[in-house]
Amino acid sequence: MYVGALTLDILLGDVHSLKQKRSMVRPLIAEVHRRFPGVAVAETGHLDLHRRAEIGIAMVSATAANCDEVLNACERLVAFHPEIELLSARQRIFNEHEGPE
């Protein structure tokens, strides 16, 4: 069993309030979840900044290759949006033998 985690730090375009930010981030999260129903996705950081957002995506898979493939596809989906600039992406894959037992 493998657990994949992807953290995306994004800069939003012409946004001047937290309300406008939510109106951009919520549909983006919904689109990722709709295209990849096996992943969990949420806004995980920069909650008080109106032009920045951190999106967290996680999944469980039988193979590391599948985790890598799906998380890379999620990253491409987010990066494809012209109103969003992807500042950084950090992907980690854990297996059942890592961490405290």
Query: pTM of the prediction?
Result: 0.88
- Cα distance between residue 12 and residue 66, in whole Å: 29
Sign of torsion over alpha carbons 29, 60, 99, 93 = negative
In-domain check, residue 79: yes
Domains in the chain: how many in total? 1
Predicted pLDDT at 64? 92
Beta bridge partners of 40: 58
| Residue 13's pLDDT band (cuts 50, 70, 90) | confident
In-domain check, residue 60: yes
Query: What does the DSSP 8-state code read for residue 22?
Result: H
E strand or H helix at 35, and its extent? helix 18-35
- Cα distance between residue 1 and residue 101, in whole Å: 15
3-state secondary structure of 56: strand
Quote the domain boundaries for residue 16: 2-95
Please say whether the beta carbons of 43 and 84 come within 8 A: no
Predicted pLDDT at 98? 64
Residue-wise pLDDT tens digits, 15-69: 899 999 999 999 999 999 999 999 999 999 988 998 999 999 999 999 999 999 9
**CATH number of domain containing 77:** 3.30.70.1120
In-domain check, residue 90: yes
